[in-house]
Amino acid sequence: MLNEKLHVYIEKLIPERHSLLTEMEQFAQIHQVPIMELAGIETMLQLLRIHQSKKILEVGTAIGYSALRMAEALPGAHIVTIERDVERIQWAKEFIGRSGLSKQITLIEGDALEVVETVSSHAPFDVIFIDAAKGQYKKFFEIYSNYLSEDGMIVTDNVLFKGLVVESEINIKRTRNLVKKIVEFNRWLMIHPGFDSIILPVGDGVAVSIKKEVRGND
């Protein structure tokens, strides 16, 4: 998102991850699993540290990379994470098992739009991290923001969609529809009466939303 040279400069300064995480990063690259971009995840982890998040809901586990990064960055936190892809669920279980951090992570298998009841039994969450199907961001936000604690924060990944949100001509139909959805989501989010939001131009674009302060009438 930044100029390319600065982007490379920043990424190179980020310390190497330990071997399991590096293995997962390579696995993701080989198998085209869209794990969060490095600068994006580092930014999110730092926000979570500042926020001292304790109970996190993640929508979109993939192979468990971001869940493990959060568990490691916040040793006192518990992460409930949802994934619907059967193969990715298996990989996530394997990687989480090997990490030694499985006590901190609860994996819920199923479509995030269908497992609401199970998820809600773990509520409230002080962070909700939305990183699943882009076409459904608004639904995820609407459903799961009901389970956010008062001082909670919602982080949404990929809101700049590789810069496509500012392209007027996109030839691939599926991509065009997704871009439209993200553009709509961003507009909706930024004027949401219940939340103050910003879009950080790091990684693939990370939106951060917190509940608006409720003011009395006096």
Binding footprint of ligand SAH on the chain (CB under 6 A): 34-36, 60, 62, 65-66, 82-85, 88, 111-113, 131-133, 136
**Long-range own/partner contacts, residues 190-198 (CB < 8 A, 24 or more apart):** 194/145, 195/145, 195/154
Q: Which is nearer to ligand SAH, 35 or 48 (CB)?
A: 35
* DSSP state, residue 139: H
Please give the Cα distance from 41 to 202 (Å, whole number).
9
Q: Which is nearer to Mg ion, 53 or 158 (CB)?
A: 158
Residue 30 CB neighbour total at 10 angstroms:
8
Q: Which is nearer to Mg ion, 34 or 100 (CB)?
A: 34
Q: Which is nearer to Mg ion, 62 or 119 (CB)?
A: 62
Q: At what angle do helices 4-13 and 38-51 cross, to 10 degrees?
A: 60
Told to check if 131 binds Mg ion by CB under 5 A, we report: yes
CB of 75 to ligand SAH, least distance (A): 19
Which among Mg ion, ligand SAH, none contacts residue 39 (Cβ within 5 to 8 A by kind)? none
Determine how β-strand 206-211 pairs with β-strand 148-157. Answer: antiparallel
Which among ligand SAH, Mg ion, none contacts residue 35 (Cβ within 5 to 8 A by kind)? ligand SAH
Question: Comparing C-alpha atoms, which of 19, 22, 33 is closest to residue 132?
Answer: 33
- Cα separations in angstroms, 56 against 5, 14, 62, 99: 34, 24, 16, 18
Task: Please give the residues from 29 up to 88 whose contact with Mg ion meets the rule CB under 5 A.
Answer: 36
Which among ligand SAH, Mg ion, none contacts residue 158 (Cβ within 5 to 8 A by kind)? Mg ion
Q: Which is nearer to ligand SAH, 91 or 195 (CB)?
A: 91
Q: Which is nearer to ligand SAH, 133 or 199 (CB)?
A: 133
Which among ligand SAH, Mg ion, none contacts residue 206 (Cβ within 5 to 8 A by kind)? none
Count of CA atoms in the C-beta half-sphere (13 A) of 153: 16
Token pair listed for 183? 């553009």
Q: Nearest residue by C-beta to ligand SAH?
A: 60
SS3 215: coil
CB of 36 to ligand SAH, least distance (A): 3
Q: Which span sits near Mg ion by CB under 5 A: 79-87, 139-147, 151-159, 172-180?
A: 151-159
- Judged by the rule CB under 5 A, the positions of this chain that interact with Mg ion are 36, 131, 157-158
